[in-house]
Structure 1
């Protein structure tokens, strides 16, 4: 527990001070955020605001983790190192995307295919290593499992190839979901604070009820839960410190460097804590935002191509469900102030996190 408190506190301090130093540095280097022309006009005032702040979040989290381990004289676990690999690896993909944007001053960075290739390489490497027998602990538990999981592993065992494909879908899907949410000042950062905080508590609880220690009916088969809790605390603290400067009106943005890394780590925690399907509840805000884009694009294309769709819904070709997607921008165009959208979406995230933790605890009580 001492390491968890140290990791969270150090990451908060590093991020708070590091972001303050990064703002003038990134401005001087010309790392300004390009703005999409089809978005709300109020966003045009943000053009040129420093971006790539995710570099600070990643650096603060990693440095705090290793310092906390050093101070408490603990050895880094295979699970934590693997999760940090996923975290940093997705951040590198995002960094390349951001760097192309700022260097060419356009709202599009890496080509979509190149971005997917980068995410796929990291996700597949993570999935293969997580299931690898070489990373099993003394009790034969690997960082991830081939069993589909909700609160813990279910009886449904997936072939290794299918499990790795599932991990790829989770990692790429969640990283892109956080990226879609990062469109308003502080929205994604504040939501990530709550989600990673939830995973920190999940890991602490799983450590206290771990099958390696407590041979009870409701125990958890998870590798290195306490060390994973340290990583979650470090990321939570780093996001909290960054939020001081990223809250409306934002003085810096996390960019794809931050959103892809945080989304990847979020999926990694769900995989390693055996709570894969529970992520849909805890990360409910990101699910809704992603679905809004899918619905918008899908209905737009369907109404253009299929007359039966136009007749069924009484709409014209190329009809849009929302004024703009993702859905947070839709509410802006309805007249909501940006800070109002952000705070209300934070409230939704809090409800999703509370609901997810409630389901997690209720399942333990039912089996205890």
Structure 2
């Protein structure tokens, strides 16, 4: 909405500031943060009243969770999604196709997560939406998003895969790019979902990744900067920096209430949506592989679950005391705050490694 005010810059000079992507990104960050602080407490109280006993706690999980986390409401991702969406609509260029594609994935995955959370709360069980049905819906949304991404660019570039640390090389995947891109988005959504197991554990790495991809989107969408850095220029993707800014602002506001002891949990409503959003931005900016580096913490959590399942089914033995891996460290005696802060550090280091790919070519 505010972006269109730049058209009147000749009449009222201060409106020219809305031309600048950096200004609008900052505005989106502050606006989303403000919305969470304004409406967050009321939403938490409403969810607490409606949910009664709060999010069901895994009985096979750490015993301390049955005491420290029982009764805490879930679906806190709603405050992130509402603030992020409102801020994006206010500050982004709404004629930009990438904005609507990424926003569509975010809201779509959020709706799937919301239904999953609703089933868990209403049935007072950890079993929510059926796994196959959920994955099928996620795949449908992701595939459709990737199809539209390919339509916004010119072939074969729009269906090609770029590689970090290598310049002037693209692998054209053809229509298989839609399958590959869909896999990236679905994997990102579910990886963040697996990471969301301790207070504040998922939201800070998500914000770190959002900050990293906000910078990537800004550079990739700028012909001068992308040319200087020898990265692929993708016209229009710079606008995704506004969405990343909105995510950071909403995430900071959520963290205020999610800091231990948490007043509310993100739930699948938030974790699926935010992971899907990061995946969609990675696909749009041609940095799918870099997402695996920047989001390496999410990859580690996912791999720990896969390895645990394979090991138990083939040998009857568990490699970790419990998966995902953050629960393994709980069983080793690490405190929740130790795990969370150390994982934040890991996420920050991986983000720096991923961003180094922008220059090391």
Under a length normalisation based on structure 2, what TM-score does the superposition of the two structures give? Answer: 0.88
Q: Which deviates more, 219-228 or 249-258?
A: 219-228
In structure 2, relative to structure 1, the CA distance for the partners of 1:165 and 1:199 (3 Å cut) is same
Tell me, yes or no, if the aligned pair for 1:26 and 1:51 is still in contact at 8 Å.
yes
Q: 1:145: how far off? A: 2.3
Q: 1:159: how far off? A: 2.0
Equivalent residue, structure 2, for 1:96: 115
Separation in structure 2 between the aligned mates of residue 219 and residue 320 of structure 1, nearest angstrom: 43
Equivalent residue, structure 2, for 1:18: 39
In structure 2, relative to structure 1, the CA distance for the partners of 1:216 and 1:28 (3 Å cut) is closer
SS of the residue corresponding to residue 280 of structure 1 reads helix
Equivalent residue, structure 2, for 1:299: 311
Structure 2, gaps ≥5 residues long: 1-21
Q: 1:214: how far off? A: 7.7
Q: Equivalent of 1:147, from 150, 154, 160? A: 160
SS of the residue corresponding to residue 360 of structure 1 reads coil
Q: 1:48: how far off? A: 2.0
Q: Equivalent of 1:156, from 158, 163, 171? A: 171
SS of the residue corresponding to residue 2 of structure 1 reads helix
Q: 1:342: how far off? A: 0.4
SS of the residue corresponding to residue 188 of structure 2 reads helix
Q: 1:268: how far off? A: 0.7
Separation in structure 1 between the aligned mates of residue 231 and residue 195 of structure 2, nearest angstrom: 35
Equivalent residue, structure 1, for 2:138: 119
Tell me, yes or no, if the aligned pair for 1:174 and 1:264 is still in contact at 8 Å.
yes
Q: Do structure 1's residue 288 and structure 2's residue 300 form an aligned pair?
A: yes
SS of the residue corresponding to residue 171 of structure 2 reads strand
Separation in structure 2 between the aligned mates of residue 100 and residue 153 of structure 1, nearest angstrom: 49
In structure 2, relative to structure 1, the CA distance for the partners of 1:214 and 1:29 (3 Å cut) is closer
Equivalent residue, structure 2, for 1:36: 58
Tell me, yes or no, if the aligned pair for 2:229 and 2:358 is still in contact at 8 Å.
no
Q: Do structure 1's residue 62 and structure 2's residue 75 form an aligned pair?
A: no
Matches within 5 A, 1:342-361: 342-361=340-359
In structure 2, relative to structure 1, the CA distance for the partners of 1:75 and 1:294 (3 Å cut) is closer
SS of the residue corresponding to residue 277 of structure 1 reads helix
Separation in structure 2 between the aligned mates of residue 2 and residue 346 of structure 1, nearest angstrom: 28
Equivalent residue, structure 1, for 2:6: none
Q: Do structure 1's residue 332 and structure 2's residue 346 form an aligned pair?
A: no
Separation in structure 2 between the aligned mates of residue 196 and residue 8 of structure 1, nearest angstrom: 11
Tell me, yes or no, if the aligned pair for 2:105 and 2:141 is still in contact at 8 Å.
yes
SS of the residue corresponding to residue 221 of structure 1 reads coil
Q: Do structure 1's residue 256 and structure 2's residue 268 form an aligned pair?
A: yes
Separation in structure 2 between the aligned mates of residue 92 and residue 145 of structure 1, nearest angstrom: 28
Separation in structure 2 between the aligned mates of residue 290 and residue 300 of structure 1, nearest angstrom: 16
SS of the residue corresponding to residue 169 of structure 2 reads strand
Q: Equivalent of 2:220, from 201, 206, 211? A: 206
Structure 1, gaps ≥5 residues long: 304-317, 364-368
Q: 1:65: how far off? A: 1.0
Q: Which deviates more, 6-15 or 325-334?
A: 6-15
Equivalent residue, structure 2, for 1:308: none
Separation in structure 1 between the aligned mates of residue 275 and residue 231 of structure 2, nearest angstrom: 28
Separation in structure 1 between the aligned mates of residue 229 and residue 196 of structure 2, nearest angstrom: 41
Q: 1:156: how far off? A: 1.1
Separation in structure 1 between the aligned mates of residue 335 and residue 101 of structure 2, nearest angstrom: 40
Q: Equivalent of 1:167, from 164, 181, 202? A: 181
SS of the residue corresponding to residue 172 of structure 1 reads helix
Q: 1:207: how far off? A: 3.4
Q: 1:42: how far off? A: 0.8
Tell me, yes or no, if the aligned pair for 1:171 and 1:263 is still in contact at 8 Å.
yes
Equivalent residue, structure 1, for 2:13: none
Q: 1:220: how far off? A: 3.0
Separation in structure 2 between the aligned mates of residue 243 and residue 165 of structure 1, nearest angstrom: 34
**Over aligned residue pairs, what C-alpha RMSD do you find?**
1.9
Q: 1:239: how far off? A: 0.9
Deviations 1:154-184 (A, max 9, x none): 3210121x11111121111111100100000
SS of the residue corresponding to residue 127 of structure 2 reads coil
Separation in structure 1 between the aligned mates of residue 178 and residue 308 of structure 2, nearest angstrom: 29
